[in-house]
Each structure stands twice: as C-alpha cells, then as structure tokens.
Amino acid sequence: MSRHVHLISFVLLCALSTGCFYGRPRIKQLGPDRILTDAEVRKAEQKIIEADKAWATRVEPGNVQKSFDLLRESMKLAPHNTQALWRAARACYWLAEQAGIAKDEKKQFSLAEIGASYAKHAIFVDTHSAEGNYFLALNFAMQADAAKTRGLAMVKPMLDALKRAHELNDQLDYAGPRRVMAQIYLEAPVWPTSVGDPEQAMELLEDAIEDHPNYPENHLVLAEVAIKLRQYSRARKQLDRVLAAQPAPDWAAELPRWQQRAQELAKKVPQK
C-alpha cells in the first residue's frame, strides 16, 4: 500500500498495505474465448487465494513476486478476471517501489508501466473497480518518480483516478485515495504551475483520520503537512502516534518504514 511520494515518490506502499482481504474471490469475468469449466474456475480462484496468502507475508523476501506469479497463472485461465488484475497492479506497484529504493529507475518505470496496464484492464472489465483506479494512480506515481520530467504531466491522470476510486469506495485502503491526494497537494508546486495546496491536503487527512484513526500512515502524512504549515505542535502529536503504533496484520510489513520516516521527520520539528 506506500513510502513517500515525492512528486511523485508516493509513500503509499501502504498504501499498499491494502492488505485488505475481500473474502473468497469470485471470478465473474471469464473472457470472450470460451466458457471455463467449473474445475478451471475453482483453480483460477484458488490461485488468487494463494496469491493473497503470499501478499499477506510480503515482509518475507520474494513473496510479492510469488504473489504476482500466482496471479499471472490465474489470469492465464481467466484473463479478464478483475480480481486478479487489480491485485497484479498492486504487486507491480510494490515491486516498482522496491526498484526505486534500489535506484534502478529503468526497472521501476517498467514495472509501474506493467502495473498500470493491469489496472487499466481491471477498469475496462469492471468500470466500478475502485481498486483498479487506486492502483492505476499509484503505478502512475511510480512512473512519474522514475521519469522526473514527466512528473507534472502525471498529476491530472493521478488525481482523476484517485477521485474515481474515492467515489467508488471512500474507505479503500484506510482512506487511501484521500491520503494519496493529500500527498499530491502537499508535494506539487502551487498554482499556476500545478495543484499544490497544503491546506487542502490537511482537510483530506483530517477526514481520513476521522474515518480511520488507528492507521499509522494517515498520521504520518498529516505530520508532513503540519510541518509544511509550521504547525509543529500538531506535527509532534502525529509523529508520536506513528512511533507508538503497534504492528497489525494489514500493515506489519510497512510499519518499520513508517516509523523510520517518523524519526526522520521528528528531526525537522523544532524542540519545544
């Protein structure tokens, strides 16, 4: 599911926590070529379930790639299955972000480009796919981060996808669409160059925290906005929330990185 988006280096691999599990994935879109047998449908669904298990333990090296490989196996059986498609986009985003950390921008861009194609396919199959729109925006963010000259040009398509995701499911990934929009408004240059607006970012995050007060990344991003606005007392409180947070199944893999980022930000906050 975050990770920080510097315009756009989104911290959302949290974003990718998006550990959200949706119960047993039911395949509805089977593709135009032929009708799958019941056994094939069950096999395709089982691959997604196995992929989810690998994703849940993504802190272990290689498990996200394993999840991605299982999803591709599912899509060989049911190529137009939106449940596998958006999960593949999520895995590509994670892998792209890891490539970015390793300073391999070529690999980062390539993975994010593949992830965006999966997300677009998910939206084509199901125009009401909130996850498809959300991970489309995040893969766009990784592309923009890898190719800095394209950053500003990617702002509008990212915001369009995030707004659509928010319309479809405003609680997705612990208010992820609002959180990522806030990061864009925080990091982007202000008007007329772009859409930068820290005050608007603050409003979005306040709403996100009202809905999901225990999700650490919401507090982390709010702390960044508060620092930008020189609201240092508020920033300290938000950072304290992140540093005191305990691991939970949906975000155990991301929490150490968020807490490391919180420690870095704390150094920017003037002492009382």
> Is residue 272 one of the residues assigned to a domain?
no
- 29 vs 100, higher pLDDT: 100
Q: Any idea which residue has 């304290």 for tokens?
A: 240
Cβ 179 vs Cβ 209: under 8 Å: no
For the CA atoms of 146, 57, 75, 159, what is the dihedral angle to 10 degrees? -40
> Is residue 218 one of the residues assigned to a domain?
yes
CATH number at residue 227: 1.25.40.10
19 three-class SS: coil
> Is residue 113 one of the residues assigned to a domain?
yes
Mean pLDDT of all residues in 99-116? 96
**Crossing angle of helices 255-266 and 232-244, rounded to 10°:** 150
**Rounded to 5 degrees, what are φ and ψ at 196?**
-50, 130
Amino acid 191: pLDDT: 86
Number of domains in the chain: 1
Q: Is the pLDDT of residue 94 over 60?
A: yes
- Report the range of poorest mean pLDDT among 81-90, 122-131, 190-199, 240-249: 190-199
Amino acid 7: pLDDT: 42
> Is residue 128 one of the residues assigned to a domain?
yes
For 146-177, what is each residue's pLDDT tens digit? 987 777 888 999 999 999 999 999 999 999 99
Q: Residue 107 belongs to what domain range?
A: 12-266
> Is residue 231 one of the residues assigned to a domain?
yes
- Quote the CA–CA distance of 118 and 141 in Å, as a whole number: 15
Mean pLDDT of all residues in 225-247? 96
For the CA atoms of 252, 253, 259, 262, what is the dihedral angle to 10 degrees? -120
> Is residue 4 one of the residues assigned to a domain?
no
Q: Is the pLDDT of residue 13 over 70?
A: no
CA distances from 172 to 39, 127, 144, 242 (A): 31, 16, 23, 20
> Is residue 158 one of the residues assigned to a domain?
yes
Q: Any idea which residue has 């489309």 for tokens?
A: 136
> Is residue 188 one of the residues assigned to a domain?
yes
% of residues, the chain, pLDDT over 90: 75
Q: Is the pLDDT of residue 21 over 70?
A: no
- Quote the CA–CA distance of 113 and 140 in Å, as a whole number: 8
Please list the residues that pair with 15 across neighbouring strands.
17
Mean pLDDT of all residues in 132-139? 98
Mean pLDDT of all residues in 1-28? 42
Amino acid 80: pLDDT: 87
Q: Any idea which residue has 């480009």 for tokens?
A: 113
Amino acid 192: pLDDT: 85
46, with CB counted inside 10 A (0-12, 13-18, 19+), is middle
What tokens appear for 21 in the block?
Answer: 């599990």
For all residues of the chain together, what is the average pLDDT?
88
